[in-house]
Every structure is written in structure tokens, then in C-alpha cells.
Amino acid sequence: MQVPINPYGKAKKMAEDIILDFSKKSDMAVMILRYFNVIGSDPEGRLGEAPRPELREHGRISGRSVKEFVKACKKATGVEVKVEYLSRRPGDYAEVYSDPSKINEELNWTAQYINLQESLSIAWRWQKAHPNGYGS
């Protein structure tokens, strides 16, 4: 049983519970994805279809610190971002990561880009080329 440790986590858990309750009382299949720091876009803008009604968490096994992420963003964009580092707040996670092995086993899928720096650089180039999203 999952026990959220902060209001954000509680709100996410509540939304997931509502979705699962709805699925049980209707004919609609649902899938809840907890994706981790998604970077990039699907070139065709595709959406997944025929979900299985279960919760999935897919990501990398090793985590990244906020400092590592900020440094990678600065390098990828060439933009110097002013950052103010504050103390961790009550309820903030020390680290968050997930295990992508299940999605690889079930769907034979592996992320195309797993290097943080490369992923951010590709996402930044795409965003600059498409400032209004897929419609541009």
C-alpha cells in the first residue's frame, strides 16, 4: 500500500484512486503512468491505445540530483539560469528513481535516449524549432 508523504503525493494518489474507481464502475479501461522527468516529443504526436488497467512506473534505475539537472539544462540550452539553492522542505524526497525493466520485458521497449545531456539537447532543439508545439 502506498502512503504519500506530502500534499502533492496525496493529491496524485487521490487522482489515481478516482481514476481506478471510475474504471471499476464503467466499461472504460484505464492506465495510470507515473513518468519521470519526461524529455522530448514523439515525432508523430502519437498517443498510446488499448491500455491495461494497472499502474506503471517507468524510468531509469539511477537518479539525478537537482544540481546535475540544472547543470545539464544550462549546457543543453546555452542559457545561464540563475539558481537559488534552498534547504530541503519537509516532505521533499531525497531521491526519486524507478526501474524500467518491466516496460522492456512486456513491450520490448527501451528509451531511445538515456543520456540526460543528450536528451535535454534534443528536446531543446525541438522546442526551438517548434515554439508552439506540434502545430508549428
Query: Would you please indicate which residues are annotated as catalytic (active-site) residues?
Result: 8
Q: Which three cell numbers stand for residue 107?
A: 513491450
DSSP assigned state of 111 = -
- Give the CA count within 13 Å in the CB-facing half-sphere of 74: 10
Task: Tell which phi-psi region holds residue 89, choosing left (phi > 0), alpha (psi between -120 and 50) or beta.
Answer: beta
Rounded to the nearest 10 degrees, the angle between the axes of helix 116-129 and helix 66-77 is 50
